């Protein structure tokens, strides 16, 4: 066997040590399943085997679960729901054969066991977990649009009850050793050197071990079906609560509820067939493909820097941050937490000190939540030095400018900083809209000038948009990506253009919201449709957050730069002007599209209806959702066509992680592929005829649709 080390000791206990070659962590690959089937058959039939202990030969953990690289291709390979059902049922039957072998089997879990890995543990009669905070267990399949397909939805409720199981399955969270023991997910937690020994001793002491659900008269703890005392909460209110969260965009949570409800009222073998059927329909669908591809495969690739310049990343040991406002102090905090010394520079010494105080407040919250010790917080804060003198950045490896979004102000700090920086230092601008090539004109070293666009709040937002200017060198790009890796954030790389990528997508979203408002679409319909589509917030609410004043400045800068009409946001500009003239600047002024009473939640301003009389016949929710999503997807396609984006994965990762684009879609380009390029083009033409040429697809996109040329490579 190539994936399992199998040996039988003098007492007849089989040691089954899983070791998938070429993988840093064990995952279920077809070869492992084949080897496991052979092992199970040996345990069942060989008289010299009295019992078995399953463990891992890798120090990294037990089994991390299924091979997502295989699952992500299922939809593109047109794997049918029936085929997917049969595939997972095969694994499920191997596990079932193990637990009914007539011999005791224990799991010696020497590290994390997730998904299918923990399902294999559940099929063992006893589970011993190492006492290590990294050794988590759980069934996180819902996070990739799936459900546990090898018995997890059926064995776990039979072990700990339906109510507690549902919470774990729907959250998909990982559970540490102490909590796992308390909940009954494992039977013992022991020191690392005792894991295998403890499991083996249990096997020797329990020759007649049997799963509780295979004992005649077994009943699921706390009951099943509609008559269980928790039924109203779990399957009544629970269904409504789940729909409020998922907006019916994510099929996996609903499938989990149905699967548990139906399966727990059946004998286990029948229940496993029910589970496999639900799993098959999910794996064959597009949502699982989208979630796995964007949030796991492509995000992980971006985190590792795959496809980026193969040049050495010199680590940043000292960072200069120019501007100590919310963004600047957030960047300083992220760098200091990562072990980098930071000079937080601001022309106003009091502002610089306030920036450090914000960092102290963030660290204080970490300490209060038990996530950081007092000493650790003190060490992080000591790495931040507030200053008002440009000379203080003289020995910095990299400088990030985070001053006001004004070309003249940025030009001034570029000149002053570069006058004292080492010749090898990189200068990065945190601008979200001003072209990097234009700003680089103020630099004496344009090859070492780059855009590093953080998202607010920096301490919570993982995405960083890296903008390559006309003269930016590959070495500068490599060093910038190395810096982002130090911060443990996720980068996307885009080429310079007005608005880059994320700002273009963001503006298309909020502008379409304002266009609909001006047309007479009810404000509440616009906002609610956005949330029902899966957007993090509505276009009017998010415009209030970033401020209408900032949007006006961006438009005015675009006009001053002589940008083409499509960059001037002609549908949004009149709405923005009208509200600003009324003093409604957004949340910061206490009023914008919304009102912000001190003693109540924010609410849409009633005056919007008078300002923009509503249509007598309102559009459907589906039409509003379509307009808001399609305009963003269309803008992403334009960014590919124009060469702003060179990697389609960056479009999806950037939209989901930076802008709150619905994760069920996989991102802007994955949405187009989910709809189908041909259908998308036809629908955009219809929208263009009704609402304006901004929806009109380009000839490039039409040709791509006609040739059925997807953005992502399709698996054969």
Separation CA 201–CA 187 (nearest Å):
13
Separation CA 494–CA 431 (nearest Å):
14
Q: What phi and psi, each to the nearest 5 degrees, are found at residue 428?
A: -120, 140
Provide CB contacts within 8 A for 187, sequence distance 6+: 126, 127, 128, 181
CB count in 10 Å sphere of residue 145: 26
Provide CB contacts within 8 A for 230, sequence distance 6+: 162, 163, 222, 223
CB count in 10 Å sphere of residue 622: 11
CB count in 10 Å sphere of residue 37: 16
Question: Residue 91: helix, strand or coil by DSSP?
Answer: helix
Tokens of 300: 């992980």
Contact 239, 257 (CB under 8 A): yes
Q: Counting Cβ atoms within 10 Å, is residue 549 exposed (0-12), middle (13-18) or buried (19+)?
A: middle
Residues carrying an active site annotation: 453
Q: Cα angle at 242 between 596 and 505, to 5 degrees?
A: 55
Please state whether beta strands 449-454 and 463-468 pair in parallel, antiparallel, or not at all (unpaired): antiparallel
Provide CB contacts within 8 A for 519, sequence distance 6+: 612, 615, 691
Please give the C-alpha separations between residue 42 and each of 35, 46, 117, 645, in angstroms, as whole numbers.
Answer: 11, 5, 21, 54
User: Which helix (H) or strand (E) covers residue 493, if one does?
Assistant: strand 490-495
Is the bond preceding residue 486 a cis peptide, omega within 30 degrees?
no
Separation CA 1–CA 32 (nearest Å):
9
Please give the C-alpha separations between residue 500 and each of 262, 476, 636, 663, in angstroms, as whole numbers.
Answer: 50, 18, 11, 22
């Amino acid at each position: 066997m190539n994936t399992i080390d199998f040996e039988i000791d003098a007492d007849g206990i089989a040691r089954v040590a899983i070791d998938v070659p070429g993988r840093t962590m064990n995952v279920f690959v077809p070869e492992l399943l084949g080897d496991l089937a052979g092992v199970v058959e040996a345990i069942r039939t060989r008289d010299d085997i009295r019992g078995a202990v399953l463990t891992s030969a890798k120090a990294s953990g037990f089994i991390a679960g299924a091979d997502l690289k295989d699952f992500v291709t299922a939809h593109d390979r047109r794997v049918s729901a029936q085929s997917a059902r049969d595939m997972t049922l095969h694994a499920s039957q191997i596990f079932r054969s193990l637990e009914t072998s007539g011999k005791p089997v224990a799991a010696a879990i020497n590290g994390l066991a997730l998904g299918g890995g923990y399902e294999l543990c559940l099929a063992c009669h006893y589970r011993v977990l190492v006492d290590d905070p990294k050794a988590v267990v759980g069934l996180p399949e819902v996070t990739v649009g799936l459900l546990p397909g090898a018995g997890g939805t059926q064995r776990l409720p039979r072990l700990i009850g339906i109510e507690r199981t549902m919470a774990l399955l729907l959250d998909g969270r990982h559970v540490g050793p102490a909590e796992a023991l308390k909940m009954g997910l494992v039977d013992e937690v022991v020191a690392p050197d005792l894991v295998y020994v403890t499991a083996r001793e249990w096997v020797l002491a329990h020759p007649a071990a049997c799963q509780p659900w295979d004992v005649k008269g077994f009943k699921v703890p706390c009951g099943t079906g509609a008559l269980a005392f928790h039924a109203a909460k779990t399957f009544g209110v629970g269904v409504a609560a789940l729909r409020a969260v998922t907006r019916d965009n994510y099929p996996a949570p609903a499938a989990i509820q149905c699967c548990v409800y139906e399966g727990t009222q059946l004998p286990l073998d029948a229940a496993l067939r029910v589970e496999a059927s639900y799993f098959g329909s999910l794996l064959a669908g597009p949502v699982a493909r989208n979630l796995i591809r964007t949030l796991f495969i492509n995000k992980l690739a971006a985190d590792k820097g795959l496809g980026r310049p193969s040049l050495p990343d010199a680590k940043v040991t000292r960072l200069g941050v120019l501007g100590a406002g919310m963004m600047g102090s957030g960047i300083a905090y992220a760098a200091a937490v990562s072990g980098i010394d930071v000079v937080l520079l601001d022309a106003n010494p009091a502002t610089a000190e306030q920036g450090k105080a914000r960092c102290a407040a963030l660290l204080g919250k970490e300490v209060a939540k038990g996530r950081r010790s007092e000493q650790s917080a003190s060490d992080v804060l000591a790495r931040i030095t507030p200053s008002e003198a440009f000379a203080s950045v003289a020995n910095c490896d990299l400088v990030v400018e985070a001053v006001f979004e004004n070309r003249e102000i940025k030009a001034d700090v570029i000149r002053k900083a570069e006058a004292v920086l080492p010749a090898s230092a990189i200068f990065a601008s945190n601008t979200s809209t001003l072209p990097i090539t234009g700003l680089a004109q103020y630099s004496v070293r344009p090859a070492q000038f780059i855009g590093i666009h953080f998202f607010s709040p920096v301490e919570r937002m993982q995405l960083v948009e890296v903008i390559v200017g006309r003269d930016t060198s590959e070495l500068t790009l490599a060093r910038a990506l190395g810096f982002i890796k130090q911060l443990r954030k996720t980068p996307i790389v885009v080429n310079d253009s007005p608005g880059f990528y994320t700002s273009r997508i963001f503006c298309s979203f909020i502008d379409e919201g304002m266009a609909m408002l001006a047309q007479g679409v009810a404000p509440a319909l616009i906002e609610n449709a956005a949330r029902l589509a899966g957007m993090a917030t509505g276009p009017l609410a998010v415009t209030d957050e970033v401020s209408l004043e900032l949007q006006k400045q961006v438009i005015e800068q675009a006009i001053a730069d002589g940008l083409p009409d499509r960059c001037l946001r002609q549908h949004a500009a009149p709405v923005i002007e009208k509200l600003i003239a009324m003093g409604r600047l957004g949340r910061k002024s206490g009023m914008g599209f919304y009102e912000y009473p001190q003693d109540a939640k924010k609410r849409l301003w009633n005056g919007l209806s008078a300002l923009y009389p509503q249509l007598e016949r309102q559009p459907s929710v589906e039409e509003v959702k379509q307009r808001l999503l399609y305009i963003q997807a269309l803008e992403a396609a334009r960014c590919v066509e124009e060469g702003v984006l060179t990697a389609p994965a960056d479009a999806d990762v950037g939209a989901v992680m930076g802008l709150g684009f619905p994760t069920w879609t996989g991102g802007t380009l994955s949405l187009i592929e989910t709809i189908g390029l041909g259908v998308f083009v036809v629908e955009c033409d219809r929208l263009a005829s009704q609402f304006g040429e901004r929806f009109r697809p380009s000839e490039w996109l039409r040709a791509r649709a006609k040739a059925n040329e997807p953005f992502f490579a399709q698996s054969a």
